[in-house]
Amino acid sequence: MSLLIQNATIITMIKEEMPFQGDIFIENEEIVAISRGSYKPIPLHTTLIDATGMIALPGLINTHQHSPMSLFRSYNDDLRLMDWLRQKILPAEARMTEEDIYYGSLLGIAEMIRSGTTTFADMYIHMDQVAAAASLSGIRASLTRGLVFNNDLQSEKRLQEGLELIHHWSGKADGRITTMLGPHAPYTCDPTSLKRVMQYATDLDVAIHIHLAETLEESEWMQHRYKRSSTQYLHQLGMLDGTHHLLLAHCVHVNENEIPLLTKIKGGIAHNPMSNLKLGCGFAPITHFREQHITVALGTDGAGSASSLDLFKEMKIAAGLQKAQASDPLAVSAFDILSMATVNGARVLGLEHQIGKLETGKKADLILINLNQPHLTPQHDLYSLLAYAATGADVDTSIVNGQILMRGRKLQTIDEEGLLQEVQERAQRLVTI
């Protein structure tokens, strides 16, 4: 199968390359050629997409998600994180069936595809259902079973489910699905259990996805229980020494003295600005992380807290926060913000050899953004236009692994109308007490 995108304004996200007009030729799963001007000759049976008036950009990468929580969008807003969890989320989650998780995942995936996300990292329960939804939809996914350790039989069961996810799903769905191990957070994982997870990660050669220092309440609890912060706790256990590839979600309450402890890690940080703001968690010191050359990518967190899975919105919030915190409009550039959503996302997930840039040999994961709209006109600096003016609704076409998942704003692999009706009924049942 071959696909030719013609007449696009191409942004490769290779720092040395400015945007240019050209064509992108895709064969099977890969980008075979990127030409300045027309690509010729056009092979027989090639599907043509006229991208005149559109930007071709690497697909966006959402590095922290709980996609089944799309069923809880706007159900439980304006609460502190722990109240949000204990009073609303945990009781509703206890009523979830595996089918609920499948449809909640599919809803989140549909929203991501429609807003330009082509890869996402997810941590939840019943991850076989999330994987099945990812497989059906055509999106790329890095999946992990969330692990909470309570020194009981359920803790061991959760760990075994996490290991089974790795064995059953790694490399499946034409290679679109990768896996990690997912200890939930320092405050829910005792030292012995975390060391077991770290050993499994080494033995299985997989990354670790963990929440870190999300709230002040967590920090206070860790100081009370272990006499150290969450970051110091992971450092003492050896998790931050560069042995393991890490995806660290949030990192809001990491102080300046602790930032050097993160400089050796492989992987990086998933910054979730909207969720952190909405839950009143605080402001992650992203500028300081970047000054220490720690890779920072973007995530949305689940729609239950963030409300929206649109990474274009997260770009604007992330940029505004950094500029405001530093009292410096030069604290971050539009290209830096776009890099967080593309190149850095790939690096944090350990997928930089496959995705994150538009170049030959990479997987054909890209989006087309329609510029023919008042809020995207005129077109001066395209990086600024995308980072500060564009929204997910401007995405016309989404392609993953060479497969068209959305074209002309219409999903190709998901029955959107049927899905919306299904999830409305399921969500209502889950929150009705």
Q: What pLDDT digit, counting tens, does each position of 132-181 carry? A: 999 999 999 999 999 999 877 899 999 999 999 999 999 999 999 999 99
Tell me: pLDDT of 56 over 80.
yes
Confidence of residue 113 (pLDDT cuts 50, 70, 90): very high
- Contacts of residue 183, Cβ cutoff 8 Å, sequence gap at least 6: 147, 149, 189, 193, 194, 197, 208, 210
Amino acid at 432: T
Looking at the structure, do residues 392 and 287 belong to the same domain, yes or no? no
CATH number of the domain enclosing 97: 3.20.20.140
Looking at the structure, do residues 129 and 264 belong to the same domain, yes or no? yes
Burial of residue 19 (CB within 10 Å: 0-12, 13-18, 19+) is: middle
pLDDT at 22: 98
Confidence of residue 90 (pLDDT cuts 50, 70, 90): confident
The closest alpha carbon to 386, from 401, 408, 400, 368, belongs to 368
Q: Are 360 and 31 in contact (CB under 8 A)?
A: yes
Which DSSP symbol is given to 37? B
- Domain limits for position 382: 2-58+358-411
Does 97 reside within a domain? Answer: yes
CATH number of the domain enclosing 45: 2.30.40.10
Tokens 């490399």 -> residue = 171
Is the pTM of the predicted complex or chain greater than 0.95? yes
pLDDT at 93: 81
Looking at the structure, do residues 257 and 111 belong to the same domain, yes or no? yes
Question: What is the three-class DSSP state of 4?
Answer: strand
Put residue 91 in one of left, alpha, beta given phi > 0 → left and psi -120 to 50 → alpha: alpha
Looking at the structure, do residues 267 and 403 belong to the same domain, yes or no? no
pLDDT at 240: 98
Looking at the structure, do residues 75 and 34 belong to the same domain, yes or no? no
Does 322 reside within a domain? Answer: yes
Q: Summarize pLDDT for 236-280 with one digit per residue, the tens.
A: 999 999 999 999 999 999 999 999 999 999 999 999 999 999 888
Does 420 reside within a domain? Answer: no
Out of 306, 322, 348, a domain closes at 348
pLDDT at 273: 96
Packing angle between helix 191-204 and helix 230-237, nearest 10 degrees? Answer: 60
Q: How many angstroms separate the CA atoms of 292 and 351, rounded? A: 22
Burial of residue 140 (CB within 10 Å: 0-12, 13-18, 19+) is: buried
Q: Summarize pLDDT for 218-231 with one digit per residue, the tens.
A: 999 999 999 999 99
Looking at the structure, do residues 300 and 407 belong to the same domain, yes or no? no
Looking at the structure, do residues 255 and 268 belong to the same domain, yes or no? yes
pLDDT at 430: 87
Looking at the structure, do residues 257 and 124 belong to the same domain, yes or no? yes
Looking at the structure, do residues 202 and 75 belong to the same domain, yes or no? yes
Q: How many angstroms separate the CA atoms of 176 and 281, rounded? A: 33
Does 433 reside within a domain? Answer: no
Q: Supply the mean pLDDT for the chain.
A: 95
pLDDT at 433: 61
Tell me: pLDDT of 32 over 80.
yes
Q: How many angstroms separate the CA atoms of 111 and 368, rounded? A: 16
Looking at the structure, do residues 80 and 201 belong to the same domain, yes or no? yes
Does 15 reside within a domain? Answer: yes
Does 24 reside within a domain? Answer: yes
pLDDT at 82: 75
Tell me: pLDDT of 87 over 90.
no
Residue 395 to residues 84, 95, 336, 341, 406, Cα–Cα distance (Å): 32, 35, 20, 15, 9
Q: State what percent of residues in the chain have pLDDT above 70.
A: 100
Looking at the structure, do residues 104 and 220 belong to the same domain, yes or no? yes
pLDDT at 398: 98
Looking at the structure, do residues 298 and 337 belong to the same domain, yes or no? yes
For range 38-55, the mean pLDDT = 96
Q: How many angstroms separate the CA atoms of 316 and 319, rounded? A: 5
Question: What is the three-class DSSP state of 141?
Answer: strand
**Which residues is 304 bridged to in the sheet?**
none
Q: Summarize pLDDT for 306-354 with one digit per residue, the tens.
A: 899 999 999 999 999 999 989 999 999 999 999 999 999 999 999 999 9
Sign, Cα dihedral of 180, 185, 188, 190: positive
Number of domains in the chain: 2
